[in-house]
Amino acid sequence: MENVYLKKSPYLNTDIQTAELLAGFIDGDATAFSKLYNLHVNMLYNYGCKLTKDSELLKDCIQEVFIKIYNKRTELDSVTNFKSYIIISLKNKLCDESRKRINLSDVAVEELDVVSGDTVEKDYIDNEKEMLDNIFVAKILDELSPRQRKAIVLYYIEEKKYEEICAIMDMNYQSVRNLIHRGISKLRTCTV
Partner 1 sequence: MNSTLEKRLLSILVNDDFINYVLNPDLILKERWEDYLIAHPEDIPLVTQARQILLGESDPKELTPEEAFDLEQRILNRCDLTTV
Under the criterion CB under 8 A, does residue 25 sit at the interface with partner 1? no
Decide: 166 and 173 in contact? Cβ < 8 Å. Answer: yes
The helix/strand/coil state of 172 is coil
The helix/strand/coil state of 107 is coil
Helix intervals (H) in the chain: 15-26, 30-51, 55-71, 82-101, 117-141, 146-152, 162-169, 173-191
DSSP state of 7: S
Under the criterion CB under 8 A, does residue 39 sit at the interface with partner 1? no
Shortest Å, Cβ 32 to partner 1: 10
Shortest Å, Cβ 83 to partner 1: 5
What string marks each residue from 42 to 81 as x (binds partner 1 by CB under 8 A) or -? Answer: xx-xxx-xxx-------x--xx--xx--xx--------xx
Closer to partner 1 by CB, 140 or 169: give it: 140
Decide: 52 and 139 in contact? Cβ < 8 Å. Answer: yes
Contacting positions for partner 1 (CB under 8 A): 1-2, 4-5, 7-12, 30-31, 33-34, 37-38, 41-43, 45-47, 49-51, 59, 62-63, 66-67, 70-71, 80-81, 83-84, 87-88, 91, 95, 131-132, 135-136, 139-140, 190-192
